[in-house]
Structure 1
Amino acid sequence: MSDYIVRASAANTQIRAFAAVTTELVEEARRRHETSPVATAALGRLLTGSVMMGSMMKNPTDMLTVQIKCSGPIGGLTVTADSLGNVKGYVFEPGVMLPPKNGKLDVGGALGQGVMTVIKDMGLKEPYSGQTILQTGEIAEDLTYYFATSEQVPSSVGLGVLMEGDNTVRCAGGFIVQVMPFIEDEVLNRLEENIKNIRPVTAMLDNGHTPEEMLSQVLDGLDLEITDTMPAKFYCNCSKERIEKAIISIGEKEIQAMIGDGRDIEVKCHFCNTAYNYTVDELKVLLDKSRKKGGR
């Protein structure tokens, strides 16, 4: 099943919901960053949550960034998503290893205490920014808390990443269900009962459930209506030209020092780990551009 996001409503628009299967994009992130199992689970959950949150935005140019700074051995995570189903991200310490906790990957232990910041750039003068303290470090609960406190939207977030024995990604996905201010008590009670009784996201996905089938369980008896679907993928818009601009921006002194070393350099993109190589001659060209820029 290729990765995709489903957008839906239920109970005559009293509920809006999103669900996604993200197995391929999480595996792509694992492969690019060579993440350990616990780092794959943490990054996979945040990629999944973020790609669904990105799909909530309206305009093609809107961008969402979710940053986690934390005290645990993973160091932190950064994920960026757009409104078209594209997402990219990285963890600070991709090789972090921890013993399992209660038979599961200890994502909460990898993150420890910390802060989650959500930045939405929607082309306005100032981007919207909301910040919350990590509640569990398990990410789904942290996003649930973020929605309730920063956006005042009561939500339920379920995220899961299941690994194979060879540490590749077996399945990944999740859902976000949000209730509108005008929700009736009867509808809310039914939703809460459903959420209490559903199986974990990884169990549903491993059983072959599609995003639509996940939502049909979460919203059982609430007149689920699928409004649209969209593909989701790990995508980074880095390029040699973009990296060149970054090198030029660090200034003449640093570029001159690189040239003085007399060796080619390699620069890697944080988000996708793609390596870009520059010869000494190319660095000289960039030094010239930096000088011209500085002289403007």
Structure 2
Amino acid sequence: MNDYIAKAMVHKGQVRVFAAVTTNTVEQARILHDMNPTPLVALGRVLTGAALMSQTLKAVNQTITIQIRSDGPIGGIVAVTDYRAGVRGYVYNPHFDVPLNEHGKFDIRTAVGSGHLNVIKDLGLKEPYIGHVDLVSGEIAEDLTYYYASSEQIPTAMNLGVLVSPEGRVLAAGGFFIQLMPDAEEEAIVKVEKGISVIPSITAAIHEGKTPEDIIRIIFPDDEPETFDPVPVTYKCNCSRDRMIRNLAALGMKDLEELAGDENGAELVCHFCNKKYHFTQEEITALLKKQ
């Protein structure tokens, strides 16, 4: 199954719901970053959350960045999505593991620890919107749900999951995102609460072959949803040599002079895809002269 997001409005247009399968996207992240299972699950949840959140954007030039900085062994997580659910991300420490929790699950709470969550929305205005909340659990979905309640005052429910094989490959990944519209009645709230309780494991449903549309039907079995065109989800890094040159130029005179003194030149590595860009001593010297 290809990765994509299904979108619908239910309960007389009072509830919007997005459901996603992101298995291939998260597996691509694993390959790019050579991650251990625990950080893989954490990043996979954030990438899936970012993809779902992308469907709240309204223009092609808009982006959302999720930043988590914490005191757990993972150190931090960054994910970026564009309007079309093209996501990219990384963790500060991809090579660690912690023991499974008391339920035999990956202990993401311990891996992340305490810290804070930033959501940065670049809406094409002069300044981006930045929402900041403390982490409430470190489990990712609960933290993003709390962000919406605290920073945007929008009742939201999210469920994010990644299932990993004993060999460390991604078997299933995905999630759902539900928001109440401003005119939502009490009946809509009850329906959402009842619906999300019937999917204890989103990854089990996806591993069984359930599609995003199936997930929406499971949550809202009595509704005739108003559906919208599905949106593909991809791992998409937009790094380039030109972008890296701009990063070099931003270092400042002192650092550039130091790099220009190295006959081996300099190598920059993209955080999001680990692609390496080598710049010769001559290129750095030429850049220095433009400063």
TM over 0.5: yes
SS of the residue corresponding to residue 178 of structure 1 reads: strand
Q: Distance in 1 between matches of 2:116 and 2:164?
A: 27
Matched, 1:181 2:195: no
Q: Distance in 1 between matches of 2:169 and 2:286?
A: 42
CA-CA distance at 1:253 after TM superposition: 2.3
Query: For 1:2-54, what per-residue CA distance to the aligned partner results, in whole angstroms no more than 9, with x for missing partners?
Result: 11111111011110011111111111111111111010100000000011111
Instruction: Please tell me whether the aligned partners of residues 55 and 82 of structure 1 are also in contact (alpha carbons under 8 angstroms).
Output: no
Instruction: Look up the match of 1:261.
Output: 262
CA-CA distance at 1:208 after TM superposition: 0.5
Structure 1 residues not aligned, in runs of 5+: 292-296
Instruction: Look up the match of 1:85.
Output: 85
SS of the residue corresponding to residue 204 of structure 1 reads: helix
Number of residues paired by the alignment? Answer: 290
Matched, 1:44 2:44: yes
SS of the residue corresponding to residue 105 of structure 2 reads: coil
Q: Distance in 2 between matches of 1:133 and 1:270?
A: 24
Instruction: Look up the match of 2:68.
Output: 68
Question: Comparing 18-27 with 191-200, which one deviates more in the overlay?
Answer: 191-200
Kindly provide the amino acid, as one letter, of the partner of residue 250 in structure 1. L
SS of the residue corresponding to residue 16 of structure 1 reads: strand
Q: Distance in 2 between matches of 1:261 and 1:64?
A: 38
Q: Distance in 2 between matches of 1:192 and 1:252?
A: 57
What's the C-alpha RMSD, in Å, of the aligned pairs?
A: 1.2
CA-CA distance at 1:209 after TM superposition: 0.5
CA-CA distance at 1:133 after TM superposition: 1.2
Runs of 4+ in 1 over 6 A off after TM superposition: none
Kindly provide the amino acid, as one letter, of the partner of residue 88 in structure 1. R
Q: TM-score, normalised by structure 1?
A: 0.94
Structure 2 residues not aligned, in runs of 5+: none
Instruction: Please tell me whether the aligned partners of residues 10 and 16 of structure 1 are also in contact (alpha carbons under 8 angstroms).
Output: yes
Instruction: Look up the match of 2:250.
Output: 249
Matched, 1:158 2:159: yes
Q: Distance in 2 between matches of 1:197 and 1:2?
A: 25
Q: Distance in 2 between matches of 1:166 and 1:198?
A: 26
Q: TM-score, normalised by structure 2?
A: 0.96
Instruction: Look up the match of 1:294.
Output: none
Instruction: Look up the match of 1:281.
Output: 282
Matched, 1:196 2:197: yes
CA-CA distance at 1:256 after TM superposition: 2.1
Kindly provide the amino acid, as one letter, of the partner of residue 285 in structure 1. A
CA-CA distance at 1:222 after TM superposition: 2.7
Kindly provide the amino acid, as one letter, of the partner of residue 93 in structure 2. E
Instruction: Look up the match of 1:58.
Output: 58
Matched, 1:217 2:218: yes
Instruction: Please tell me whether the aligned partners of residues 78 and 91 of structure 2 are also in contact (alpha carbons under 8 angstroms).
Output: yes
SS of the residue corresponding to residue 26 of structure 1 reads: helix
Q: Distance in 2 between matches of 1:30 and 1:276?
A: 21
